[in-house]
Structure 1
C-alpha cells in the first residue's frame, strides 16, 4: 500500500529539489501523474539548482547557453511523499535530488554534496549524529515597518523581547500547535520551542538523529513548514539572518558527535576533555571556518548578524561551555560529548551547512590536526583570528581555499561562487527596504 493510496484526499503533488540557496525548485503535477514521477523521475535543467536569489540564470554560466541548458533527471529521495498541511487543497510534496542523464549524481546538487561527505565517514566506520537548532522571527510585514504580529490567540501585540517567556509562547500557541502538528505529519522530530532575545523571535530544536541527510532534510522541510503556517495566519516567519537592526539575528546551530560501528561515541574518553579524535574534529572545524563563512553567511544581510556583542560569533575559537565561542563544547555526561558549531545563520542551506561542518571535522580527523587551546571568558574581548567581515571577502576565501576543495566538488564550488558574485553585484543596487523584501520569505 503506497502513501498516496493511504491518502486519497491528496489532489496535487509538488516535486521539488533544493537549489544552492536552499530554495525549493520544482513543479506542480496532478495526482494521476504521481506514479510516473516516483518511478521515472522528472526532468529539470541542471541550471535550476544554481539560480540566484531572485530565481534568475547566472550570467555566463556554462550550464546555460554555452551547453544548451541541458536537463538533469530528478529522482525521489528516500523521504517519499510528505503532506503540505499549510495549503488549502490537500497536497503532497515529493522531495527530489538531481542526477545526470547517465545516472551519475549531479555535483551541483547540495544534497549530493552532503551525501559525498557522509560516504567518506562510512569508509572510516563512522556515523555522524546530528541535531539542529533553528531560530526565526514572526513578523507583521503588512506595513512600512516590520513589527511583531498580533497574537492569533488574543489579537494583541506584545512588542517586548522576552527570553524563555511562556507568555510569548502562549501568545502564539495556535501557530505553534499547527507547526508541531505539521512536524508530526512530515516526520520532522521537533522538540523544545523557546522564545528568544528578539521581538517575536523563537527557537525550535530538532532531535539528534544518526542520519545526517535526514537531519538536513528535516531542517529544510521545517523552514518550508514554518513559513507556510505563518502565512496561513496572515504574518511572516523569517529565517533571515538579521531582520531587525537593533535585535539579535537568527542562527542555526548544529550539534554533532560521531559513532563507531559498535555504536560508541568516539568523542567520549570518560572525562570532560574528550578524545584525541574529538580534538582533531574541533581543529578541522576551526581550520575551515574562515573559508566556510560563505556557507554559514551566504547572503548580503548575513554579515549584519556577524558583529561583536550580538550573540553571534566573530572570532575563530572554541571553548568548553562558552556561548561566545564559535565552537562550544556543551557540559554534561562524557557519554554525550559533542561539538556545537554556532556560526551559521538561519538563512543557510542546511545541506551545504552540514556538509561544510562535517566535512571540516573529517579533514581534521584525516590530518590529525590539533586545535589551539580553548578560550575562557568573553570571546569578543580577545585577540582572535576573525571570520571574513564582508560578503566579498567571504566569496574570495571560499573560492581560493584548499580545504573547501577537499569538502565540495569543483562544479559546486564554481556554481556557488558564480551565484554569489552575481547576487553581490545586484544587491548593491537595492534600497534597504528592497533588501528586506528580498530575504524575508526566501531564505
Structure 2
C-alpha cells in the first residue's frame, strides 16, 4: 500500500509525527496535521543537520561546526520506505512516518546513522551478498514513582516479586495485559516480535525480533520496538527501560544480534554442512573481533553502559569467540548447519540500532574483504582467560573510537566526528550529576 492510500484508509488519524533517529537513537521530528501529510510525503520536510547531532538532553553540541560555522543549515528529510504506521501507545489516533536526512542536492547526509547502515548494506550487495539479521532485546519494567526504582506490582495480584525470575512463566503471566497489548501493537506496526521470556534481572524481560534479510528494516524494527515498549508501558502505569544497568546488583540489559549472510542463490555462505561453519564465517568473525575494541563506543554509548560490562555478569568483557559459549563476545550458536550464524553479544539495550548494525556488519565485511583470520576459538570461561579487553570506561572508549584506523572503513568521517563531539559533551556534563540524576536521565531516554 502506498503512503497516500494508507492515509485515505485511516481517516481517524488526525495528526502525524515525522521522525528520524539521531546519533543517540532518539526520535527527532515534528507533529504535522494529517491534512498536510501528503505534502510531507511528496516534498519531505526540513530541519537543521545539527538536530541529528544533539546530546542526550537534546542540546546543541558546543562548538559544533554544524551550528554556527555552517549557519545551522537545513537538511531535507524524506520518508523511508517504511511508510506510515500507527502509534498505539498514544491516546488519539496518530501515525508515525519515519524519515531520513539528505543534503539539498539529494545526496545522503553522512551524519545520519540510517544512511551509514545503508552504505554498508550496499557494499554487501555489490559482492552479491545480503546480511540476514535477528535481534534479542532485553528491557526492564520499572516502577519509578518513588525515590528508589523497584519492580512494578503485578496488575493481576497487586504483589511485587522482588526476585529474578529466569524463564518464569509466572512473571510473564503477571504482566499478561501489557504483553498482550505489546504483541497487538507490534502486529499493527508490522514489527516481527517472536518469543518473549522473563530474564535474570528484577522485572527484566526479553523479546526476540525475527530474522530479516533487510538490515535496514531490522534496525527500523528495533528502533520502533524500543519506542513502542517505552510508550506502551507508560499507558500501563509503569516505565520500561532499555538502560544497560538500572540495578547495580542485577545483570544488565543486552541487545544481542544474530546474523548470517546469503548469496544470490539464497544460500547461507556460513554453512559448511557441519558445526564449524565456512572459511567466510571465520573471516567475518575475525573482522568483528579486530574492530571490537575501537567500536565499543557504539555498543556501549553511555556512562551507565560500562556498569553492565563487568566480568561474570552475563556481558562480555574480553575480545574472543567460541562455539556455543556465552562467556565470549562472539558466539557461534549450535543447531542446523543451514542456520549457521554469528551472535554478537557486546551491545547493551541502550544502543542506537542503526549504528550498532553498521558497526557489526561493517566490521564483518572488512574481515571478508581482507580474508582475515581469527585467533583460536575459546573453550571454557572467557572471563578467566588472558585475552584482549574491551574498554572498561566511557572515556577510554571515546578515545579508541576517535583515533581508530579501522572504523573509517565503514563509518563516515562526519559521523565519527559528530559522535565523538556528542559523547565528549555528555562525558563533561554527566560528571556533574549524582548517581540518582544519572539514572533519571537514562531511564526514559535510552
Say whether the fold is shared (TM-score over 0.5): yes
Provide the rounded CA distance (Å) in 1 between the counterparts of 2:326 and 2:6: 43
Q: Deviations over 1:41-78 (max 9, x none)?
A: 00010000000000000000000011110000000000
Who is 1:99 aligned against?
A: 102
Provide the rounded CA distance (Å) in 1 between the counterparts of 2:428 and 2:298: 18
Match of 2:264 among 261, 264, 267: 261
User: SS at 1:240's partner residue?
Assistant: coil
Match of 2:253 among 250, 258, 276: 250
Map 1:154-303 → 2, pairs under 5 A: 154-303=157-306
Who is 2:117 aligned against?
A: 114
* Aligned-residue offset at 1:156: 2.0
Match of 1:397 among 396, 400, 404: 400
Who is 1:436 aligned against?
A: 439
Provide the rounded CA distance (Å) in 1 between the counterparts of 2:299 and 2:163: 29
* Aligned-residue offset at 1:402: 1.3
Who is 2:31 aligned against?
A: 28
Who is 2:7 aligned against?
A: 4
Indicate whether 1:314 and 2:317 are aligned. Answer: yes
Q: Is the 8 A contact 1:265 1:337 kept in 2?
A: yes
Who is 2:387 aligned against?
A: 384
User: SS at 1:241's partner residue?
Assistant: coil
Match of 1:84 among 82, 87, 92: 87
Who is 1:67 aligned against?
A: 70
Match of 1:341 among 325, 344, 350: 344
Indicate whether 1:364 and 2:363 are aligned. Answer: no
Provide the rounded CA distance (Å) in 1 between the counterparts of 2:437 and 2:93: 33
Q: Is the 8 A contact 1:196 1:203 kept in 2?
A: yes
User: SS at 1:322's partner residue?
Assistant: coil
TM-score, structure 1 length as denominator? 0.99
* Aligned-residue offset at 1:154: 2.5
TM-score, structure 2 length as denominator? 0.99
Provide the rounded CA distance (Å) in 1 between the counterparts of 2:158 and 2:233: 15
Who is 2:54 aligned against?
A: 51
Provide the rounded CA distance (Å) in 2 between the counterparts of 1:161 and 1:39: 50
* Aligned-residue offset at 1:203: 0.3
* Aligned-residue offset at 1:256: 0.2
User: SS at 2:124's partner residue?
Assistant: helix
Provide the rounded CA distance (Å) in 2 between the counterparts of 1:63 and 1:258: 37
* Aligned-residue offset at 1:155: 2.2
* Aligned-residue offset at 1:368: 0.5
Provide the rounded CA distance (Å) in 2 between the counterparts of 1:153 and 1:224: 25
After the TM superposition, list the runs of 4 or more consecutive aligned residues in structure 1 that deviate by more than 6 angstroms. none
Provide the rounded CA distance (Å) in 1 between the counterparts of 2:335 and 2:382: 22
- Structure 2 runs not aligned, ≥5 long: none
Who is 1:415 aligned against?
A: 418
User: SS at 1:402's partner residue?
Assistant: coil
User: SS at 1:4's partner residue?
Assistant: helix
Provide the rounded CA distance (Å) in 1 between the counterparts of 2:278 and 2:403: 32
Q: Is the 8 A contact 1:152 1:233 kept in 2?
A: no
User: SS at 1:63's partner residue?
Assistant: helix
- Structure 1 runs not aligned, ≥5 long: none
* Aligned-residue offset at 1:179: 0.6
Q: Deviations over 1:67-97 (max 9, x none)?
A: 1100000000000001000100000000000
Provide the rounded CA distance (Å) in 1 between the counterparts of 2:159 and 2:178: 14
* Aligned-residue offset at 1:152: 2.0
User: SS at 2:295's partner residue?
Assistant: helix
